[in-house]
């Protein structure tokens, strides 16, 4: 009987190609050289090493590694532009201690001194500050403060039966509270799943942003001394909220807001002036391997 399924003989390790196949073995003795992440980047003939860019990238959080590397490369090019200009003008700064407690390097001090000498930003006067205040009055209001208490009936968002039961119990509690059958603080201590139960549901003073959106929406509209007429649903469960006290936000007078406005305007003017200074340096320089944006580009890090 003829065996139609004769097994092939396995090839031994290192066996050569079959004669006439035209195959040429790859030389695995020398590993292939990795391609560079960037083409060569230089500023007026001074190269910026790829390893330096990779190290700098950790200081530039981004949505993806490519964006971080690009931001790092731009920052290093700008830094080199400023250092070269400082050397050309023989600007030497005295290292200072930064706001976060770090000691400046000699290069950082030189860059700071160059910018201080080259960028002139006028102080913001009364007219500019008043114009900004009038155009942005809502930014100069104190935030409202709410003193509220609540009862939480916890329920897992994924458990529909538990959510239905929690809602029904909350509705019954609201009815009992409205009828005066029970006191809010007593019911909170007995039934609330929030740690505030120990204080009768008292949450202390709340301000915008301190609670989940659904809860905050009720705080913004609930009158002082009133309780909700229906349960408030959040991811935690169902809440019964009572507003004990409201302190509405007030408009800050111009004189109180002026120092802050002046600081904002001067900081914005400084940033724009520095960006323009860098744009001029970039236009005059010979930069290879990357394009540096104009006045709206990144500032020195």
Do 49 and 98 sit in the same domain of this protein?
A: yes
Within a domain: residue 211? yes
Yes or no: say if 230 and 214 are a contact pair by the CB < 8 Å rule.
no
0.75 exceeded by pTM: no
Say how many C-beta atoms besides its own lie within 10 A of residue 39's C-beta.
9
**Structural domains in the chain (count):** 2
The residue assigned the tokens 């600081």 is: 263
Within a domain: residue 183? yes
Backbone angles phi, psi at 247, to 5 degrees: -120, 105
Yes or no: say if 298 and 75 are a contact pair by the CB < 8 Å rule.
yes
140 DSSP assignment? G
pLDDT tens digits, one per residue of 163-185? 999 999 999 999 999 999 999 99
pLDDT tens digits, one per residue of 243-291? 999 999 999 999 999 999 999 999 999 999 999 999 999 999 999 998 8
Does the pLDDT at position 12 exceed 60? no
Least confident of 19-23, 195-199, 282-286: 19-23
Q: Give dist(CA 219, CA 172) in Å, integer.
A: 22
Yes or no: say if 38 and 290 are a contact pair by the CB < 8 Å rule.
yes
Within a domain: residue 17? no
Do 155 and 201 sit in the same domain of this protein?
A: yes
Cross-sheet strand order for the sheet of 46-48 = 46-48, 41-43, 287-288
Do 264 and 232 sit in the same domain of this protein?
A: no
Provide CB contacts within 8 A for 7, sequence distance 6+.
none
Yes or no: say if 109 and 95 are a contact pair by the CB < 8 Å rule.
yes
Beta bridge partners of 299: none
Average pLDDT value for residue range 100-113 = 92
Cα 94 vs. chain centroid, distance in angstroms? 33
Within a domain: residue 100? yes
Print the domain residue range for 232: 145-247
């Amino acid at each position: 009987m003829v065996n139609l399924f004769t097994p092939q003989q396995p090839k031994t390790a290192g066996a050569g190609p079959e004669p006439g196949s035209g195959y040429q073995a790859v030389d695995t003795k020398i590993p292939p050289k990795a391609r560079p992440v960037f083409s060569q980047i230089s500023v007026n003939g001074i190269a910026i090493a790829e390893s330096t860019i990779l190290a700098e990238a950790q200081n530039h959080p981004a949505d993806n590694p490519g964006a971080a590397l690009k931001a790092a490369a731009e920052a290093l090019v700008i830094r080199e532009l400023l250092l070269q200009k400082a050397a050309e003008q023989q600007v030497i700064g005295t290292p200072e201690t930064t706001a976060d407690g770090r000691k400046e390097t000699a290069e950082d001090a030189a860059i700071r001194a160059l910018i201080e000498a080259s960028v002139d930003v006028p102080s913001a006067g009364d007219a500019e500050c008043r114009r900004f205040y009038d155009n942005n009055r809502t930014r100069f209001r104190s935030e409202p403060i709410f003193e509220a208490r609540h009862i939480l009936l916890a329920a897992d968002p994924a458990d529909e039966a538990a959510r239905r039961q929690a809602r029904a119990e909350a509705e019954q509690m609201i009815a009992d509270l409205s009828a005066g059958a029970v006191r809010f603080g007593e019911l909170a201590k007995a039934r609330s799943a929030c740690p505030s139960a120990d204080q009768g549901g008292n949450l202390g003073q709340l301000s915008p942003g301190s609670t989940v959106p659904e809860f905050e929406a009720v705080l913004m509209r609930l009158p002082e001394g009133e309780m909700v007429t229906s349960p408030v649903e959040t991811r935690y469960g169902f809440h019964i909220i009572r507003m004990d006290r409201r302190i509405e936000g007030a408009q800050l007078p111009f004189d109180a807001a002026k120092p802050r406005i002046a600081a904002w305007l001067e900081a914005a003017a400084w940033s724009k002036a520095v960006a323009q200074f860098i744009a001029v340096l970039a236009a005059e320089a010979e930069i290879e391997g990357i394009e540096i944006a104009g006045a709206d580009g990144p500032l020195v890090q």
